[in-house]
Structure 1
Amino acid sequence: MKAKNIVGIILIVVILFLLFLVLSQESSKKVEVVEKVEEKVSKVEPKLEKSEEEKYLEDLKKQAGAKTDYEVSKYYKTACSSCHGKSGEGTKVAPSIAGKSYEYIVEKLDDYKNDRVVNSLMKGLLNNTSDEDLKILAKEIANFK
């Protein structure tokens, strides 16, 4: 090999080594900066206050999960209790249905289902419910005191 080739190879190796050192120092600086930023972010506590609507929805969820003195059906728990309350006592969203007669409840459910009383939420809940299931639900609700 000629001396020029040896010198060229040595220069290339030195340049690559220096390039490696520079890149490794930059990446370690980035890691340090990221760690400092993460540390500062973790010290800041978020002070997000819940809106009235979020508080209201949480309250409805608690009501839906509350236990009653008697057992209610799964359908009532999932479809009715979040708005009408666990025992039919009513909420800000929907009126009380406790203490209503079987006939009154069947009539109202049928009115909602058949759009005689316009309420898109009730219509959606009752749309795929059979008349027999409506009667069973009405009988259950009529037992609420």
Structure 2
Amino acid sequence: MTGQPVRLAAIHDTPLSVEEVLASLDDDADGGVTLFVGRVRDHDGGKGVSGLDYSAHPTALARLREVCELVAARHDVDGVAAVHRVGALGIGDIAVVVGTAAAHRGTTFDATRDLIDTLKAEVPIWKHQLFADGTEEWVGTP
């Protein structure tokens, strides 16, 4: 065990690696590791999606780390990791990978759900969604 629950908090403008997040949570003390992988889907609200673009506020990385620390404090986990992508993404691309590690699986399921939900609610990363019909919308902007 590293003693530091936040193992990885990053924002990348290049494709994300599930393996990077999994490796950051590797610890022989943990019997459970739960990951959530968020991908770009081809539809939203009944409309076809052709792609999207994520933008991050300059404070987003610091806020992401704070969210990881909050989740670690709320759950009995040994490890927390979160990586978000920015820039242009296509259908099927990975937009976010989060995970937690703990002695028991139930803890990791609860903590990982809390992590992705809190990240989406509190980290200033915004989605500009492009629809197949030529329209667009911003999601998550203040």
Q: Between Structure 1 and Structure 2, which shows a larger proportion of helix residues?
A: 1
| Greater RCO, 1 or 2 (C-alpha within 8 Å, sep 6+) | 2
User: What is the TM-score with the length of structure 1 in the denominator?
Assistant: 0.20
Q: Between Structure 1 and Structure 2, which shows a larger proportion of strand residues?
A: 2
Which structure: larger Rg?
1
User: What is the TM-score with the length of structure 2 in the denominator?
Assistant: 0.20
